[in-house]
Amino acid sequence: MANVHHFQIKNAQGESLPLRQFRDKVLLIVNTASECGFTPQYQELEQLHQKYQDQGLVILAFPCNQFGGQEPGNNEQIQQFCQINYGVSFPVMAKIQVNGPDADPLFEFLKDQARGLLKTRAIKWNFTKFLVNKDGVVVKRYAPRTKPLALCEAIEAELALLPKTAKEHAA
């Protein structure tokens, strides 16, 4: 079965990075924008990063300008914005498209694996989040309105920081 570890992404400097380097890590993949009403979610994403990075969480932000032109900057400007305004220390990748004919292959895969509201495939807005387990399997898709800190329990479950339920022990 295919998983996210089969994909390559580009960092903000345009260098190709294989996602297989994140095997045995839990990923939170988010399409972001600097001029969006949800942009303050960068702060909570950074809090998640600080809280869980040592347990194996990796947050990957992918700037995208497809929603209301809310990410007009180039990669360098985006990096500066995230650092200056939110102290972001998790990876902010190269700007991409998440929908349409030029959509990044990783996001095509994510959309196939986890549908949105009413089983829609397309990403509807900035700050859609995908939680991916240690095996590279997409666990769940979260709407832009879902605040990052609301994902703590789901992240902890994937990091195996939460005790197993009786049902899980029996399996």
pTM: 0.92
Strand duo 57-63 + 26-32: pairing: parallel
Mean pLDDT over the full length of the chain:
92
14-19 contacts: CB < 8 A, separation 24 or more?
Answer: 14/75, 14/94, 19/106, 19/136
32-87: pLDDT as tens digits: 999 999 999 999 999 999 999 999 999 999 999 999 999 999 999 999 999 999 99
Q: From residue 124, give the alpha-carbon distance in Å to each of 54, 68, 111.
A: 32, 11, 11
- Indicate if 152 belongs to the active site: no
Q: Counting beta carbons within 10 angstroms of the beta carbon of residue 86, is it exposed (0 to 12), middle (13 to 18) or buried (19 or more)?
A: middle
- What domains are there in the chain, each with its CATH number? 4-170 (3.40.30.10)
Token pair recorded at residue 56:
């194996």
